[in-house]
Amino acid sequence: MYLSEKKFHSIYKKEKSKIDLILKKSLQGRKPSSLYEPGSYILHSEGKRLRPLLVLLSAKAVGGKFNQVYNAAAAVEMLHNFTLVHDDIMDNADKRRGRLTLHKKYDNNTAILVGDSLLSVAYEYLLMDCSANAKEVMGAFTQGLVDVCEGQSMDTDFEMKKRVTIKEYLVMITKKTAAMAEMCCRIGATLGGGSKIQVNSLSNYGKNLGIAFQIQDDLLDISADEKEFGKTIGGDLVEGKKTYLFIKALEKATGEDRKSLSRVISSYGVRKNQVKKYKLLYEKLGVLDESKKEIRKYTNRALNALKIFNSTEQKILYMLADALIERTK
106 binds a copy of itself (CB under 8 A): no
- Answer for which of 3, 93, 100, 138 binds a copy of itself (CB under 8 A) is 138
Shortest CB 84 distance to a copy of itself, Å: 12
121 binds a copy of itself (CB under 8 A): yes
Stretch that binds a copy of itself, among 93-101, 129-137, 226-234, 276-284 (CB under 8 A): 129-137
Coil/strand/helix, residue 99:
strand
Cβ closest to a copy of itself, residue 89 vs residue 306: 89
165 binds a copy of itself (CB under 8 A): no
DSSP annotation of 64 reads -
Residue by residue, DSSP assigns 260-304 as HHHHHHHTTS--GGGHHHHHHHHHHHTHHHHHHHHHHHHHHHHHH
Stretch that binds a copy of itself, among 18-26, 27-35, 179-187, 215-223 (CB under 8 A): 27-35
109 binds a copy of itself (CB under 8 A): yes
Helices (H), 101-195: 102-105, 108-128, 134-160, 166-173, 179-191
Shortest CB 51 distance to a copy of itself, Å: 17
Query: Quick one: which of 73, 50, 18 has its CA closest to 323?
Result: 50
CA pair distance 266, 264, nearest whole angstrom: 6
- Answer for which of 143, 260, 262, 274 binds a copy of itself (CB under 8 A) is 143
Contact between 105 and 96 under an 8 Å Cβ cutoff? The reply is: no
- Give me the sign of the Cα torsion angle 262, 148, 215, 97: negative
119 binds a copy of itself (CB under 8 A): yes
Question: CA 3 from chain center: how many Å?
Answer: 26
On the 0-12 / 13-18 / 19+ scale of CB atoms within 10 A, 218 is buried
116 binds a copy of itself (CB under 8 A): yes
289 binds a copy of itself (CB under 8 A): no
28 binds a copy of itself (CB under 8 A): no
Contact between 53 and 320 under an 8 Å Cβ cutoff? The reply is: yes
Coil/strand/helix, residue 95:
strand
CA pair distance 19, 27, nearest whole angstrom: 14
32 binds a copy of itself (CB under 8 A): yes
149 binds a copy of itself (CB under 8 A): yes
300 binds a copy of itself (CB under 8 A): no
- The count of C-alpha atoms lying within 13 angstroms of the C-alpha of 35, restricted to the half-sphere facing its C-beta, is 14
- Interface residues for a copy of itself in 58-97 (CB under 8 A)? 86, 89-90
162 binds a copy of itself (CB under 8 A): no
306 binds a copy of itself (CB under 8 A): no
266 binds a copy of itself (CB under 8 A): no
251 binds a copy of itself (CB under 8 A): no
Enumerate binding residues for a copy of itself (CB under 8 A): 31-32, 34-35, 86, 89-90, 108-109, 112-113, 115-117, 119-121, 123-124, 127, 130-132, 134-135, 138-139, 142-143, 145-146, 149-150, 152-154, 156-157
